[in-house]
Structure 1
Amino acid sequence: MDVPHADELFVGSRWTAPWSDERADVRSPFTTRLIRTLPRPTVADAEAAVAGAAAAFDAWNALPITERHRVVARFGAGLDKRIDDINRLWALEAGMPLRNGQDLTSSASELWNKALDDALTAPWVETRDTWMGAVEVRHEGIGPTVGIVAFNGPHMQFALAIIPALLAGNTMIIKLPPENRLLGYLFADAAAEAEFPPGVLSILAGDADVSQYLVGHPDVAAVHFTGGTEVGTAVMHSCADRVANVVLELGGKSAAIVAADADLNVVVPALVDSMALYSGQICVAMTRLLLAREIHDEVVAGLVAGLRGLRTGDPADPDTTWGPLAAERFLERAEGYVERAVAAGATIAHGGNRPADQEGWFLEPTLLTDVTNDMEVAQNEIFGPVFCVIPFDTLDDAVALANDSRYGLSGSIFTTDHEAGLDVARRVRSGVFVINATFPCLAAPFGGMKQSGFGREGGPEGLFALTQLKAVTLPA
């Protein structure tokens, strides 16, 4: 596949020559072979991006929403035009199975187009009557903003965070992870086609040095970070001294509760599909399976049979249902968790090994039983194909287990008792929750509690997440 402007970087809304001749390798997770090399963004490129964003902010923020909308809508249309290429490159460089990628990319398109529609009717400015008289309340852009996105859905984060932030009047520097270097060129090509004013948007697929520089830059007024909790806390520390705004969408260790009365014909396929989605590399993955004790063995047997039926192979093959992990370090991390879990007393009900017939970064879907909720494997986000089964006796016990986590991103319950399901949903401390399914609505809005972060994406709340409020008291 052709990569547009493959020897340049997208800085300040324009294709430019990189400051350095450093190069970065892109390897296939499926074969581990080299796909191609691309320019490696450096701190000097990041500095140019921040300088452009700072110079452009006042003019971009001052534009009427209709004029910003016109440009951002062209960007959304450009992304829509490239959806098939986005899906192919996502499979090629990051291992996202094509069938999953198509569903997620389609959802991303719906979300960014919904944000564009909502922006035209959102109350960016409203007048309120108070005891002191009329007050104009305005949502304004914050300033030059860094958006650090994750490899498991960068275009989803464009829909949920970046496009709303641009509409709100912020200038943006997007830092993609190394696993999305090729995808970054498609996003940048769509942005170039949209003809953003100079400085408004930069897109760099860089390494940790670029992230650290951007997050700590004194001219960066806000950071929207999606990723692991440990790095998220470092982002907060870096922003604290200058009181920069921060939105954090962090990790999860979400629990799927299966009540004794659940319909197992619904439960088992739903959980298998959930586990198969990008090999567990999803922040809302149900990695703790809390099963009512009386149906424990039956559900485990069904899950093992379902996992055995997954088709492992090339993520670019539409029939593949189990693909590789995105990078070798993710594979090694997951293997370490499995090894330590077994040493701590867990039993491997399925998986645990690298498939013998695959040369890429594959790990079999791994289902662990005999797990207690205090084990490392049940408390830490692994971001890989390792799933813990934990039994419970009552729904109160299940809620307590679900809440016994430093995370609070998502959760679910399977039950035929509607009222019991609602009761559990309201008591589990998570930002989103699902009844009789596993994947939450991302436009409802979406975000976490506790160490899963703060701030929201999607819906009107996401549209205003990267804005600041100004109240103007009008003349009597």
Structure 2
Amino acid sequence: MDIAHTDELFIGSRWVRPASTDEADVVSPFDGRVVRRLPRPSIEDAKSAVAQAAEAFGAWNALSVTQRLERIGRFCEGLDKRKQQIAEVWALESGMPITQCLDLTNAASDLWNLALREAETAPWVEVRDTSMGRLEVRREGVGPTVGVVAFNGPHMQFALAIIPALIAGNTLIVKLPAECRMLGYVFGAAADEAQFPEGVFSLIAGDADVSAYLVEHPEVAAVHFTGGTEVGTSVMKACADRVANVVLELGGKSASIIAADADLDSTIPVLVDSMALYSGQICVAMTRLLVDRSIHDEVVSRLVAGLATLKMGDPTDPETQWGPLAAERFRERAEGYIERAVADGATIAYGGSRPDGFDGYFLEPTLLTGVTNDMEVAQNEIFGPVFVVIPFDTIEEAIEIANDSRYGLSGSVFTSDEATGLRVAREVRSGVFIINGTFPCLAAPFGGMKQSGFGREGGPEGLFALTQMKAITLSTDEPAAV
């Protein structure tokens, strides 16, 4: 991989020498080999990033949206011309099959370019006539912001959270996960070409101590966190004492309801494809399959047949459909859930083991039957290739089971009756829902309910997620300056 500046860090919009000589291994999840060693960011590096972001915020926020878009547009152009490299690096260090990487990278590109277009016409400044006089209502940046992104789609989170936050006038410290250390250098190269003002943008692939330092820093005015609910609650607590703004895009345990009238010839391939997407390491994965009892056995049989066709292999091979998990600890966690589910009475209909012939962090797609919704495996987000089938007798019962979860991120229903689909979609408590599909529209407001978080990404709502409003009472009838 041709990656530049690998002895430096992108701090304060510039490549700089790290404060420490400590290095971290980049390990391929496919075969466990070390593919590169890169600087390990320290708390001193994080301290510098926050100090520069705080100093730069006033001038960056004072620019017009048009002026900020000039730099951010160059950043997006730099990302666009690196789409192939982004996909290749992501596949190598995180284990997602390259074809899926390319699909999601292209989708991310569509979304960040959509954000640029929407920003041009969004109502950043409005003039309102009220019974108490004319007002100028402005949307401004919150302040220095930490964006914590996850390994399963960091550039998608750039499109939905980081770029909108920059457009709004915030200075950004992006905290990348350890599984995306190399990818950070590709993002950094694009940001370098954008020539952001000093201090506006930093990228730090730090470990837990660096993450905690950033989230708890008194000069960090906002945190946009994408990740698990347990860590999200700790982020929220850390921000509470200083009343920092928080947007949380957290976990899910989404249910897909397969009604008795579903067209299984089209439904099963869609479900199998969704199960194969990054081996279930997706927050919107349909990990609970709620199936009408009358078609339960047929659905299970078809799913097993579909999963058996998935080609497992090297994630950099375009023919691969099922790659390794991103890290050994993720595989071990999934295996623990499978073992305990079987002990609780579940049956492995397919998978459940490490496949022969692979040295990396592979785990077969696992389909469990005989599961009840109160089992641990049906209630906790596993973030891995473990899917449960739960039968139901009526649509009302299916809706009740779907809602019997502390999560509320996504959901879906497969039915031939549009009215049934709409009814289910409206009654299931989730932030997004799909009729006869499994992947949500990310160009619309995306986010969760309940313990899946709050705040929204995507669409106009995402542009304003990290803004605060100011109302100015005007003393004249002169038009307000934008």
What secondary structure sits across from 1:431 in the alignment?
coil
Distance 2:62 2:332 in 1: 49
Distance 2:392 2:475 in 1: 63
Q: Deviations over 1:68-102 (max 9, x none)?
A: 00000000000001000000000000001011111
Aligned to 1:57: 57
Match of 1:197 in 2: 197
Distance in 2 separating the partners of 1:194 and 1:4:
16
Deviations 1:211-238 (A, max 9, x none): 1000000000000000000000000000
Counterpart for residue 8 of structure 1: 8
1:187 Cα deviation from its structure 2 partner: 0.3
**Which amino acid is 1:288 matched to?**
R
C-alpha distance in 2, partners of 1:289/1:35? 38
The corresponding residue for 1:105 is: 105
Q: Deviations over 1:13-61 (max 9, x none)?
A: 0000000000000000000011010000010000000000000000000
Q: Which residue of 1 aligns with 2:439?
A: 439
1:394 corresponds to which letter in structure 2? Answer: T
Alignment of 1:241-256 (within 5 A): 241-256=241-256
Q: Deviations over 1:122-152 (max 9, x none)?
A: 1000011110011111000000000000000
Equivalent position of 1:152 in the other structure: 152
Give me the whole-angstrom Cα distance separating, in 2, the residues matched to 1:29 and 1:225: 25
Return the alpha-carbon distance in structure 2 between the equivalents of residues 233 and 33 of structure 1: 34
Q: Percent identity?
A: 72
Opposite residue 285 of structure 1, the aligned amino acid is A
Q: Which residue of 2 aligns with 1:430?
A: 430
C-alpha distance in structure 1 between counterparts of 2:306 and 2:120, whole Å: 46
How far apart, CA to CA, are the structure 2 residues paired with 1:129 and 1:261? Answer: 53
Residue 471 (str. 1) matches residue 443 (str. 2): no
Look up the match of 2:44: 44
Question: 1:280 corresponds to which residue?
Answer: 280
Instruction: Tell me the TM-score normalized by structure 1.
Output: 1.00
Q: In structure 2, how many angstroms separate the alpha carbons of the residues matched to 1:370 and 1:206?
A: 41
Deviation at 1:439, TM superposition (A): 0.2
CA distance in 2, matches of 1:188, 1:162: 14
Q: Distance in 1 between matches of 2:355 and 2:54?
A: 50
TM-score by length of 2: 0.98
Shift of 1:267: 1.1
1:243 partner SS: coil
Q: Distance in 1 between matches of 2:454 and 2:4?
A: 36
1:217 equivalent to 2:217? Answer yes
Alpha-carbon distance, 1:474 to partner: 1.0
Task: Kindly state the Cα deviation for residue 111 of structure 1 after the two structures are TM-superposed.
Answer: 0.2
- Counterpart residue number, 2:401: 401
Q: Deviations over 1:271-329 (max 9, x none)?
A: 00000000000000000000000000000000000000000000000010000000000
Give the letter for the 1:374 counterpart: D
Match of 2:117 in 1: 117
- Structure 2 regions of 5+ residues with no counterpart? 477-482
2:268 is matched with 268
**Deviation string, structure 1 residues 438-476 (Cα, Å, up to 9, x no partner):** 000011110000000000000000000000000111115
What's the offset of the Cα at 1:266? 1.2
The answer for the alignment partner of 2:480 in structure 1 is none
Q: In structure 2, how many angstroms separate the alpha carbons of the residues matched to 1:94 and 1:228? A: 18
| Matching residue of 2:411 | 411
Counterpart code for 1:413: V
Counterpart residue identity of residue 39, structure 2: P
Q: Partner of 1:289: helix, strand, or coil?
A: strand
Cα distance in 1 between the residues matched to 2:89 and 2:48: 27
Distance 1:267 1:360 in 2: 31
SS in structure 2 at match of 1:210:
helix
Which residue in the other structure is 1:333 paired with? 333
Q: What are the within-5 Å matches in structure 2 for residues 145-184 of structure 1?
A: 145-184=145-184
What do you get for the CA RMSD once the two structures are aligned?
0.5
Instruction: State the 1:384 CA deviation.
Output: 0.1
Moved beyond 4 Å, runs of 4+: none
Q: CA deviation at 1:415?
A: 0.1
In the aligned structure 1, how far is the partner of 2:84 from the partner of 2:156? 15
User: Equivalent residue for 1:309?
Assistant: 309
- Is the counterpart of residue 367 in structure 1 residue 367 in structure 2? yes
1:387-434 Cα offsets, whole Å, 9 max, x none, are 000000000000000000000000000000000100000000000000
State the secondary structure of the residue aligned to 1:120: helix
Within the alignment, does 1:229 sit opposite 2:250 as a pair? no
> 2:479 maps to which residue?
none
Residue identity in the other structure for 2:195: E
Q: Establish whether residue 386 from structure 1 lines up as the match of residue 386 from structure 2.
A: yes
Distance in 2 between residues matched to 1:222 and 1:54, nearest whole Å: 12
Give the AA of the match of 1:165. A
1:348 paired to 2:332: no
Within 2, Cα distance between the matches of 1:158 and 1:469? 23
